[in-house]
Amino acid sequence: MRIRCPYCGERDNGEFTYLGDAGGARPDGMGTDAAAMHDYVYLRDNRAGVHRELWYHGAGCRSWLVVTRDTRTHEISDVTSAREAGLARRNSGTTSGEAA
C-alpha cells in the first residue's frame, strides 16, 4: 500500500504510522459528562468500507494526515493534512462530530 502525502507525494506505507479514526472531535472536558468522554476515548466503530483515519508521516515530513481509505480494498480516495482539516473544522464552527 502506498499513501500520497500532500507534501511529499506517493510514499511507501512503511514511512507512516497508523493512529485510528479521524472522525471524533474531543468534547470540552469541563463542559461534558463522563459518559461522553468515555465514548470519545474508548469507543470506536470498526467499519467495513470507507473510513477516515489519521496517519503520521514520521519518516517523511512528520505531518499528521487524514486518509480516506476503504478498509475492504485498501483503496485510498483522499489524503489531506490533519492541520488543514482541523483548521477548516474550527473555521466552519463545528465543534463535534465528523469534519466535512
Partner 1 sequence: MSEIATTSSWRPRSAWAGFAKPGRQGRAGAEPGVILDLREGIGLATIILADGQDEALARALSERFGFAPPAPGAAAFASGRGLVWAGPGQWLAVAPSRADLAGFGEALAGLAAVTDQSDSRAVVRVSGPQARTALSKGVGVDLHPRAFRAGSAAGTGISHIVAQIWQLDDAPTYELAVPRSFAGSFWGWLTESAAEYGCEVRGLPR
**Could you list the residues that contact partner 1 (CB under 8 A)?**
7-9, 11-12, 14-15, 58-63, 81, 83
Write the burial class of residue 15 (CB in 10 Å: 0-12 exposed, 13-18 middle, 19+ buried).
Answer: middle
Query: Nearer Cβ to partner 1, position 27 or 60?
Result: 60
Residue 10 C-beta: closest distance to partner 1, Å: 9
Residue 37 C-beta: closest distance to partner 1, Å: 29
Residue 6 C-beta: closest distance to partner 1, Å: 9
Query: Nearer Cβ to partner 1, position 39 or 78?
Result: 78
If we measure between CA atoms, which residue out of 51, 5, 3, 50 comes closest to residue 24? 51
Can you tell me the distance from the alpha carbon of 86 to that of 33, in angstroms, rounded to the nearest whole number? 24
Query: Nearer Cβ to partner 1, position 51 or 57?
Result: 57
DSSP 31-62: TS-HHHHHHHHH-----SSEEEEEEE-TTTT-
4 three-class SS? strand
Residue 13 C-beta: closest distance to partner 1, Å: 11
Query: Nearer Cβ to partner 1, position 40 or 64?
Result: 64
